[in-house]
Amino acid sequence: MNLEAQYNQYLINGKPSAGLSVNDRGLAYGDGVFRTFLVNNGVPHHWELQYQKLSQDCQALGISCPNNDVLTSDIKTLFNDGSDAVAKIIVTRGESSRGYAVPDDIQTSRFVIKSALPIYPLNNQTQGVKLHLCELKLGLQPKFAGVKHLNRLENVLARMEWKDASIADGLLLDSNDNVIECTMSNIFARYGNELITPSLEECGVAGIARARIIENTKRFNLDIKIEALKLNKLMQADEIIICNSLFGAWQVVSFNGKHWAKQVLDAQLRKMLMN
């Protein structure tokens, strides 16, 4: 398959050749939300969870979420070749004239974009990954913490901090020096049979893979705690795992000057997440 051609496939408000308006508030203000997930053989992975999160995120920003049927139909149209690919859905508040005020009659815009599966080194699964400790610290914004919104300059600038291709992701602290997440993944730390993931009440993105791990810890004989986590406590973890909806789960084996032996929890979680 021609990846370049695949990469360029998209629907804007259901149409394959529509243009994106320069007046869209997604461009003007990052006034919208998004989801990124796998599509296997034309079928979106855990669509109900993805739609539920999209809908919650829209609600958090006061954006009218497109109906499930509408998005399901867009996905069906775009992935009708039965391909394995990545779907990205962007929902913005819509178009408006200049200025922050939102017109009463604004209509949501939706963008569904198909792109090639990412190619990750197999080593990430078999040997674990290395993390960079980001210098940039996440600002606190409880009004939309947890939401996967389009204001992602912090992630972009954090990602610009390293060029070393052997680094899988960068760990982000918040401005109070709490561990929050990585630029493209959530994080878990294991201490014996206790799994801790940072509270995301003040910043960060609460991803679907994180939610699924939280809901399924019992099956791995682990207890889960969602709470503030400091860097020095993270460094004492028996095991650190990062996760997202595209790669599943990877163990962190090198971070901030410390090394961990490769263990098996990441493979167990990955198997659960990818099913």
Query: What is the set of active-site residues?
Result: 36, 148, 181
| Residue 7 to residue 2: CA distance in whole angstroms | 9
CB 79 within 8 A of CB 87: yes
Binding residue for a second copy, selected from 13, 20, 127, 260, defined by CB under 8 A: 20
Residues numbered 38 to 97 that lie near a second copy (CB under 8 A) are 61-62, 86, 88, 90, 92-93, 97
Tokens of 78: 């775009």
The region of 15-23, 40-48, 212-220, 233-241 touching a second copy under the rule CB under 8 A is 15-23
Task: Output the CA torsion sign for 93, 96, 98, 99.
Answer: negative
Q: Which is nearer to a second copy, 101 or 122 (CB)?
A: 101
CB of residue 185 vs a second copy: minimum separation in angstroms?
11
Cβ nearer to a second copy, comparing 4 with 69: 4
The answer to whether the CB of 272 falls within 8 A of the CB of 255 is no
Residue 102: CB minimum distance to a second copy, A: 6
Tokens of 18: 């529509």
Backbone angles phi, psi at 175, to 5 degrees: -70, -10
Could you identify the residue written with the tokens 């730390």? Answer: 189
Interatomic CA distance for residues 273 and 275, integer angstroms:
6
Q: Which of 49, 70, 102, 133 binds a second copy (CB under 8 A)?
A: 102
Tell me if 160 contacts a second copy by CB under 8 A. yes
Which secondary-structure segment (H or E) carries 77? Answer: helix 68-78
Question: What's the CA dihedral at 161, 163, 207, 274 to 10 degrees?
Answer: -170
What is the SS3 string spanning 121-138? CCHHHHCCEEEEEEEEEE
Cβ within 8 Å of residue 275, ≥6 positions away: none
> Shortest Cβ distance from residue 239 to a second copy (Å)?
26
Closer CB to a second copy, residue 134 or residue 213? 134
Distance of alpha carbon 110 from the chain centroid = 18
Stretch 166-195: interaction string toward a second copy, x if CB under 8 A: ---------x-------xx-----------
- Considering only 38, 58, 131, 136, the residue that binds a second copy (CB under 8 A) is 136
Q: Of 201-260, which residues contact a second copy (CB under 8 A)?
A: 203
Q: Candidates 37-45, 135-143, 193-201, 261-269 — which segment interacts with a second copy by CB under 8 A?
A: 135-143
Piece in contact with a second copy (CB under 8 A), picked from 45-53, 75-83, 152-160, 221-229 = 152-160
Helix axes 47-61, 68-78, angle to 10 degrees: 130
Binding residues for a second copy, rule: CB under 8 A, are 7-8, 10, 12, 19-31, 34, 36, 61-62, 86, 88, 90, 92-93, 97-102, 111, 113, 115, 118, 136, 139-141, 143-144, 149-160, 175, 183-184, 203
